[in-house]
Structure formats: structure tokens, C-alpha cells
Structure 1
């Protein structure tokens, strides 16, 4: 579904939600109380500013007795077999963000990956998947990466633990090209990439990825990911804590030029290794 038609469909979702809510004689605040979100969030759903999570859509169906219509619409609009179900909502939100801040402890973030690196990561976690499915996932990741090249691209920060530079995903040649892409995106100011070095020791997100998203017309959101699960965090107090954690990571990371120097040094090491094999 093209972005324009998808947005139109979300606008229909919002109009239908408003109609069903008003037919039930509920205000936005009253419906929000029943589905455990604020009335302001209900208003944002109705205006197609923000998309609900699956469990919220299910609770809306229960509160309005709509026989699963909002869950079915959600699955039609957000579920995308190219993405894991737990990441689909976050993938939708990143298209609307004005600021994106990623922290990855082990891998290069998806928005910065080359096709070869993305393919190696995908194969590692899907060793028995058909080739067509692998290619579909890689294509989706590369499509997402175009977000950083558009005229209305978000401000994008990425903090990588040094581990992400040292694990030879796909082999030395693949890693060399991946790290050269990181430096290119940084030099061209499409992204600001920082490295948290081994020497930093313990840090605020030990072993846990983190994403912060800011929007022009909606409150900020945080996204965290674990094994086959992800969480979108909307609660203002929780988002404030994740922002504080990210600030601690920024303070502990190497400055931009020192980060680039470390990335380039690692790329050179991989290039030397690739030339001897």
C-alpha cells in the first residue's frame, strides 16, 4: 500500500472511531479511560496523527462493542510481513518523526545498514526461510533507509557500542563496506553517528537497544526491543526516563570526529583482512 493511500486509510480509521464513539455517547476522555490511554490520544487517533497499538485497538473494540472491526483494520494497515509484528507500529511511526535517536549495543541500526549487512543479519535469524522472504525483508529495510535521504528527513542520531563495529557480520568485506557507509552518511550529514567505546565500561543501556522518536504534532515516544518482542512507550514519565538514559549514553560516547576515526580504523582493519583472504 502506497504511503498516500495508507494515510487515507488511517484517516478513515479515525473517522470511523469518532463515529462509533459518538454513537456510544462517549467523550474522548471517557473512551480513553476505558481503554487505558488519555483522551488526547483518542483525539490523535481520530485525526490520524498517531496510530494505536494492537492492544489498544482491541480494547477499543471491547469498549465500543464493535465486533473486532478496529483490530481488523489495524491488522490490515499496520501488519506487514516484511516486518516483525512487534516492530510494525514503530516502523509506521518513524516515517512521521522529526527526530530519531537510536542506540544499538550489538548491531548496526537498520536505517544505516547496507544490503549485504542486512542480508547477513536476516539470514542469521531466518536460516530456513525461503529466498523470496529473505529478499523481501532486506528490500523493506533498504526502503526504510531512504528516510534519511529525503528532503524532509528527520534529524538522526545513532549511538553504537563498539561491539557493533567488531562483530564481523557477513565477513570482513561486508563489514568494511558497512563501516564505510557509516562514515559516508556521517560526512554527508545524513546522520550523526557516535561510538560508545569498550573503555566506557558500564553504561545506561547494558545490552538493550533504545529508540526515541519526536514528532511535530504529537508527544514523543520511546521504543525498546527484546527477544521477539518490542514495546512502544507513550507514558510521559517513562519517556522522560528513556531520554535521560540516552543523554547518559551521549555523554559517555566518543565525540563525533573521534567516533568517525574509530569507525574508519575498524574499516581499514577489515579491508586488510579481506585483501588477505
Structure 2
């Protein structure tokens, strides 16, 4: 499986920061020695300021030379390998996905190469499980100073994210949904019916778990998340897990280990408060039947 580029970018930044600190260089001093700007060094060491930015391989090699890391050494090879993984081509680099949106691009970046995606959603189904029709209606429903007039690039992005993860069985996917996400109709009835049936089909795939939290569930104090989010881990244990939170205007990345661990614990408590996988499937199937009877 292709390594997650953001995880490798973070590890690259941490390695270069540690070397610069050990050598006692400031950004400016190292920049002068390497022949690159201090701002490039800062951005490379702190990639979350612009998580989609790819590190420059030449810049990384110049930094390693300036930091007196012997070429061909184990340390050089390891850091160069991180840089190559971080700079690798990504499916969303293709022309078909250039207009899928910055927020969705961040989600795709976090999801790439994941081993587990533990997601929570409240009123709306998350983009990674949406049908084309559901996604199209939701995109067009967005209002603001610059409403979307052509939803298709965003829809294509959501469908490809699904194919790359949930639909392809490449990641263990655990979704916890509030009951309202199934019962509420944010799209026309026939679109919602198709979406519920699609969700049931996904639940039959390997590694996919969907659980419904009823409105009368009693999970205890503090177990109600404030926003949709996803806790993501990777096959390489050295690639740190990350949480991406949907805060409406953009995707917020949480990387602090304590906070990330807290989200993992929250997800487990929500799963325990929810209906079982089997009972959740029965619930969704019943909701679909009731909806079909109204069409």
C-alpha cells in the first residue's frame, strides 16, 4: 500500500527540525549555508500550515548536505525516502480532481493509505459514503458569497475517495451515525432512498462497520461530539495517527497525541452506545422501507 504522504511529510519535518536543532542553526543560518530561503525551511519543518504542499526533493537534499549528513548514510537514505514518499504523485493531482475543493482535498490527503478510518457524523452522511445524487444535492445546497454552480468536480472527488477506501476495502472503516442522519431528509425522498440502500450495500463489504446512535441512547456525559470528524491511522506504526474535523469552513487537522487519543476513546464509547452492526442494518433497512412507501 502506498504510504500516506501527509504522515511522511510530518516525519520529514520532524527529522529536519531535530537535525537543525542539534546542529544549533537558526532558519536564517541554515538557509544561507544551504542556499535556500528560511521560509522554505520553516514550511518543510512545519508542514501542517499548508498540508497539501509537497516538499521539494532538491531542497531536502541541499538541507541534508548543509546539515553535514553523509550522502549514502542510513540517516540520509531514511530522510530522502521520507521526502520521496511525501512528494509522490497522488490521485487528486489528476486534472479531473483539480476543482474538488480544498477541504475535500485535505480529507483525501488524510485518508490516503489509511489502515483504519473511524468516522462520526451527525445530521448528514459523510462524503466518503455518499452516492453521486446525494453528494450533488448537498453541494448545490451550500450557500454563501460564492455558491457552487458546477457540483461535478466535487462529486467526482467524493466518489473517488469512496473507491480508494471504503469501496475498495483498502481500509477498515467504522462509521458512527446519529439517528437523525438516517431519518432526516436533506435531499429529495428518492435520492435519500437510493442513499440508504447504498449504505446498506457498503455495510456488506469487508471491513465496513456502520452503527446508529438512537436519540434516546445513554452514552454518559461528554460523549456527544460537537462536530463531524474522522480518526485515521496508518499501517506503518511510525506514521502518526491524525484527526480531521469538519468545522464547516474548512477541515481542521488535530495532531497532538493526547487529543488524537481522546478522539479514539470517544469513538469507542460512541460505538458502545450505538446499536450493533446487525441492529443498525435492520434499522436502516426499516427506514428505507418506510421511505419507499411514501414515494
User: How high is the TM-score relative to the length of structure 1?
Assistant: 0.72
2: CA distance, partners of 1:142 / 1:234: 27
Pairwise mapping of residues 91-170 of structure 1 onto structure 2 (< 5 A)? 91-126=108-143, 128-130=147-149, 133-147=150-164, 148-150=166-168, 153-170=170-187
**Are the structure 2 counterparts of residues 155 and 241 from structure 1 closer, same or farther at C-alpha, using a change threshold of 3 Å?**
same
Task: Give the alignment partner of residue 285 of structure 2, picking from 254, 264, 268.
Answer: 264
2: CA distance, partners of 1:222 / 1:45: 25
Consecutive unaligned residues of structure 2, counting only runs of 5 or more, are 13-53, 70-77
Pairwise mapping of residues 62-73 of structure 1 onto structure 2 (< 5 A)? none
CA offsets 1:152-195 (integer angstroms, 9 cap, x no match):
x1111111111101121221111111111111111233521111
State yes or no: 1:188 paired with 2:205.
yes
Partner SS for 1:102: strand
Instruction: Give the equivalent residue in structure 1 for 2:276.
Output: 255
Partner SS for 1:199: coil
Contact 2:99 2:154 in 1 (8 A): yes
Contact 2:242 2:254 in 1 (8 A): yes
Instruction: Give the equivalent residue in structure 2 for 1:31.
Output: none
**Are the structure 2 counterparts of residues 25 and 253 from structure 1 closer, same or farther at C-alpha, using a change threshold of 3 Å?**
same
Deviation larger for 201-210 or 235-244: 201-210
User: How high is the TM-score relative to the length of structure 2?
Assistant: 0.67
How many pairs were matched up?
229
The alignment yields a C-alpha RMSD, in angstroms, of 3.4
2: CA distance, partners of 1:187 / 1:203: 32
2: CA distance, partners of 1:98 / 1:44: 24
Partner SS for 2:225: coil
Contact 1:194 1:254 in 2 (8 A): yes
The alpha carbon displacement at 1:47 in A equals 3.5
Contact 2:100 2:155 in 1 (8 A): no
**Are the structure 2 counterparts of residues 155 and 19 from structure 1 closer, same or farther at C-alpha, using a change threshold of 3 Å?**
same
Contact 2:110 2:242 in 1 (8 A): no
1: CA distance, partners of 2:282 / 2:115: 28
Contact 1:94 1:100 in 2 (8 A): yes
State yes or no: 1:198 paired with 2:215.
yes
Contact 1:17 1:46 in 2 (8 A): no
The alpha carbon displacement at 1:220 in A equals 1.2
- Bigger radius of gyration: 2
1: CA distance, partners of 2:68 / 2:123: 47
The alpha carbon displacement at 1:43 in A equals 4.6
Task: Give the alignment partner of residue 233 of structure 1, picking from 233, 254, 264.
Answer: 254
* Structure number with higher helix proportion: 1
